[in-house]
Amino acid sequence: MADHWSFVLAAYGLALIVLAAYWRFLVRRERELSEGHQVLREGSGVSEQARRPSP
């Protein structure tokens, strides 16, 4: 009986692609959002410095 390796490959290949794609989506989204956070925090730091009264 034929082993249908092409089907086995298709199944595992599909799983690999889908799971890897989801993982990349998660990693990329998290990076975007954390960088957004960083910008906010640094931004507020700068404005605090600017607001300090000069002697």
Partner 1 sequence: MSSLLGGVTLAGLVAGLVLGFGIAPREATQGNVQRIMYLHVPSVWVAYLAFAVVLVASIVYLVRRAESADRLAHASAEVGVLFTGLTIATGSIWGKPTWGTWWTWDARLTTVSILFVMYLGYLLLRGMIEDRERGARFAAVLGIVAAFNIPLVHFSVYWWRTLHQPPSLMKPGPGTMPGVIVTALLVNFAAFTLLYAYFVTRRARVLRLEAEAEA
Can you give 2-51 as a three-state secondary structure string?
CCCHHHHHHHHHHHHHHHHHHHHHHHHHHHHHHHHHHHHHHHHHHHHHHH
Judged by beta carbon, residue 10 or residue 45, the one nearer partner 1 is 10
Binding residues (CB under 8 A) for partner 1: these are: 1-5, 7-8, 10-12, 14-15, 18-19, 22-23, 26-27, 29-30, 33-34, 36-37
Q: How far is the CB of 42 from partner 1 (least distance, A)?
A: 15
Judged by beta carbon, residue 22 or residue 44, the one nearer partner 1 is 22
